[in-house]
Chain A
Amino acid sequence: MKRGWFLPIAATLGFAFLYAPIVSLVVFSFNESDLVTVWSGFSTKWYGAVLADPQILGAAWLSVQIAFSAASIALVLGTLCAVALVRFRKFRGRTLLAGTVSAPLVMPDVITGLSLLLLFVAMEATIGWPSGRGLLTIIIAHSTFCMAYVVVVVQSRLGDMDVSLEEAAMDLGATPVRVFFDITLPIIAPALISGWLLAFTLSLDDLVIASFVSGPGSSTLPMVIFSKVKLGVSPDVNALATIIIAIVALGVLAATIVQLRNHNNRAKAH
Chain B
Amino acid sequence: MSTFDAQSPPPPRPRAWSGVERALAAVGLSGKALVIAAPALWLTVFFLVPLAVVFGISLTIKQFGRPPYSPLLTNEDGTVQLTLHLNNYLRLFTDGLYVAAYLSSIKIALISTIITLLIGYPMAYAIARAPDQWRNILLMLVILPFWTSFLLRVYALSGFMRGNGVINQFLGLFGIPPVVMMQTDFAVYVGIVYTYLPFMILPLYTNLVKLDGALLEASADLGARPVRTFLSITLPLSRPGIIAGCMLVFIPAIGEFVIPSLLGGPSTLMIGRVLWDEFFANTNWPRAAAVAIAMLIVVVVPIMLLQRAQDAVQDKERGK
Interface residues of A (CB under 8 A from B): 1-4, 6-8, 10-11, 14-15, 17-22, 24-25, 28, 35-38, 76-78, 80-81, 83-84, 87-89, 91, 93, 97, 99-104, 106-111, 114-116, 118-119, 121-122, 125, 140-141, 143-144, 147, 163, 166-167, 170-171, 173-179, 181, 198, 201, 204-205, 207-208, 211-212, 222, 225-226, 229-230, 233, 237-238, 241, 244-245, 248-249, 251-253, 256, 260
Partner of A18, one of B162, B169, B197: B197
For residue B292, which residues in chain A have a CB less than 8 angstroms away from its CB?
Answer: 110-111, 114-115
Asked, given contacts A103-B47, A241-B155, whether A118 binds B285 with beta carbons under 8 Å apart, the answer is: yes
* A267 vs B141: C-alpha distance when bound (angstroms): 24
User: Do A37 and B46 touch (CB < 8 A)?
Assistant: no
CB distance from A193 to the nearest CB of B (A): 14
A135 to chain B, nearest CB (A): 16
Report the minimal beta-carbon distance from A236 to chain B, rounded to whole angstroms.
12
B127 in the interface (beta carbon within 8 A) = yes
Chain B residue total in the interface (Cβ 8 A): 104
**Which residues of chain A are within 8 angstroms of B153 by Cβ–Cβ distance?**
21-22
Q: Are B279 and A84 in contact (CB under 8 A)?
A: no
The secondary-structure label for the interface of chain B is: helix
Docked-complex contact B306 and A118, CB < 8 angstroms: no
Q: How far is the CA of A241 from the CA of B143 in the complex (A)?
A: 18
Report which residue of A89, A205, A238 has the largest number of chain B beta carbons within 10 angstroms of its beta carbon: A205
Within the assembled complex, what's the spacing in Å between the Cα atoms of A177 and B15? 11
A175 CB, min distance to chain B CBs, angstroms: 5
User: Among the listed stretches B3-11, B75-83, B85-93, B95-103, which one makes contact with chain A, having 4 or more residues with CB under 8 Å of it?
Assistant: B3-11
Chain A's interface: helix, strand, loop or mixed, by majority? helix
Residues in A with CB closer than 8 Å to B57 are 118, 122
A208 to chain B, nearest CB (A): 6
B7-42 with Cβ < 8 A to chain A: 7, 9-13, 15, 17-18, 20-21, 31-32, 35-36, 38-40, 42
Contacting residue for A97 out of B39, B138, B285, CB 8 A:
B39
CB distance from B93 to the nearest CB of A (A): 20
Contact, CB under 8 Å: B149 / A229: no
Q: Is the CB of B289 within 8 A of A114?
A: yes
Query: Does B36 lie within 8 Å of A87, measured CB to CB?
Result: no
Q: Please, how many angstroms separate the alpha-carbon atoms of A229 and B217 in the complex?
A: 52
Q: Is B54 an interface residue (CB 8 A)?
A: yes
Closest Cβ neighbor of B55 among chain A residues: A115
List which B225-270 residues lie within 8 A (CB) of chain A.
226, 247-248, 251-252, 254-258, 261-262
CA distance A100 to B40 in the complex (A): 9
Contacts of A3 in B (CB 8 A): 129
